[in-house]
Structure 1
C-alpha cells in the first residue's frame, strides 16, 4: 500500500474539484503567458508566492508559465518552503511515497531524499508537511505545466540560508531539475507601505543583495537567500516577472500581503 500525503488546503486555497482546479490553473497560466512581454525564458529556478489562488495565483502563474518549451525536459522538482504550522530545527523532508492533489499523485524522489539525509540539518518529519500550504499550492501548477516528474519537498524551520544552500547544491543537477522557492513578501501593512517594502525586496533580489532580505520582508527568506547565494555562485541572472499585493487582487488595502515572482536563468539567455 502506498503512503500518501493528502492535500490539506484543497477547497480552501484552491478548488477542491479536479475539473474546476485544472480550468482555473490553465486560465491563470494562459493569462500570464499573454501578459508576458518576452518569450519563455526556460528558468532553472523560480521564486513564487503561496497564498490562495484568488490572491497570488496570477503572480505565481507568471513564473510557471516562464518555464518555456523545455518544461518537458524537467523530471525532478526540488521545492523549498517555510514552516507555518510546526516548529522544527533545520529542514524537514517526508518519507511518504506520493504527494496528492485533486489532479493526481506526484511521486517523491526517494533517491534524492536519501541523499538529503546525509546533510546534518535534514530530518524526516512528516508532521511538518501534513498541514503545510507553502508547497502544496504550487503542485497543481507543476502538474499542469510539466509532464512526468518527481518531487523533493523540503520544509524550512529554524535554519540558515547556508544550510539550505547546501541542500540546493546537492540536488542542483542539470536541465532535468527545477528549483522552486516558495515565499510571500511583506505581511499586514497598509497598501502603500507594502508597496515600498516589496519594491525594496525586489531590488535586493535583482542585485543579489542578501543583506537587505529578512523574515519581515519575506516569510520564506531563508530559502530565498539560499537560492540567491547558489545562483550568484553560478553567475546566473534574475528576471522579475510579477510584483503585487493582496490589495490589488482582493480590494482590501488596509492590511495586505505582498507577492512576487522571479525566474533565474543562465546568462546565455
Structure 2
C-alpha cells in the first residue's frame, strides 16, 4: 500500500461543510467564537456528545462542545470517536484500514497502537468500506483540528452491536486526561418542529439522568450513547447539556426537522 493510499481522503467536503481550506477555517473559527461559553465547565470534559449534520445545520451546536476544549491542546493528545454507520452495513465496530484521515485543513494521524489494542476485542473489525463515505466522523474533524491542532484519532464506525460492547471499547481506550471520547449522534429525524422538540427533550432528559436510550428514533447514535452512559454510570461522570436545537432553529424549515444536542461529561476529581 502506497503512502497516499493509507490516507482516507475527505468524502463530504463541499457537501456537509465547506471544501475550501481558508473558508472552512474561518467558518469553524466563527462557530467556535459564537458558541455560548456561559456553560463553561469547572473541569475539562472527558467525553462529548455532538451532532453530525452539515455544518450549516448542526455546526453551531457542535461548536458549543468543542469550544470547551480551548486551552486543551497541550493536554488532549488522542480522540477516540464513535459514529453510527449510515452508508455501509457493519457488524460490531469498524476501524479503518487507513493510517490517517484528511480534511481540507490537513491530515490527522491515527493512533495505530490503540487501534491494534482494540482489535483484540471480538466486536472490533477492520473495514475500509465502512469509513470510505461515512460523514458522522468526518464532520467532527475540522472542529478538532481547530481546537487541538496536533492529536491522534481512533475512529470507530458503529453498526449492529450493543451498548455494552461499545462500553468495553471505551473502557479499553479510556486512558487519562490525554484521551477525549467523542460520540457523534443526531437526535430525532424528520418530525414536525413541535413534535421534535418534545421528543428531543425527553431524550435529553434520559441522557442527563444516565438512562439508556431504548430506540433509534431517539438518536441515530443511540448505541454509542448507551455505551457512554454505561461507562458514565460506573465511573461517576457528570453530564451537562450545552445546547439543544434542531434544523428548524438553524437553517431549515420547520415541517420536517432533525434534532441536535451537545453534551459534555466531566470526570470527578480531574481538574
- TM-score class, shorter: over 0.9
TM-score of the aligned structures, taking structure 2 as reference length:
0.96
How far 1:37 moved relative to its partner?
1.2
**Superposition map of 1:199-218 within 5 A:** 199-210=201-212, 212-218=213-219
SS of the counterpart of 1:88? coil
Give yes or no for contact 2:70–2:147 (8 Å, CA) kept in 1: no
SS of the counterpart of 1:69? coil
SS of the counterpart of 2:122? coil
| Map of 1:226 onto structure 2 | 227
Partners of 1:152 and 1:39 lie apart in 2 by: 26
TM-score of the aligned structures, taking structure 1 as reference length:
0.96
Partners of 1:148 and 1:12 lie apart in 2 by: 25
User: Unpaired runs of 5+ in structure 1?
Assistant: none
**Superposition map of 1:229-240 within 5 A:** 229-240=230-241
| Map of 1:28 onto structure 2 | 31
| Map of 1:170 onto structure 2 | 172
Q: Deviations over 1:127-165 (max 9, x none)?
A: 000000000000000000003111100000111001111
How far 1:68 moved relative to its partner?
4.1
Partners of 2:259 and 2:195 lie apart in 1 by: 10
Aligned length: 266
Q: Deviations over 1:81-107 (max 9, x none)?
A: 000000011110012111000000000
RMSD over aligned CA atoms reads 1.1
User: Unpaired runs of 5+ in structure 2?
Assistant: none
| Map of 1:243 onto structure 2 | 244
Asked whether 1:10 is paired with 2:13, we answer yes
Q: Deviations over 1:144-195 (max 9, x none)?
A: 0003111100000111001111100000000000000000000010000000
Partners of 2:11 and 2:29 lie apart in 1 by: 21
Given the alignment, which residue of 67, 79, 82 partners 1:80?
82
Moved over 3 A (4+): 38-41
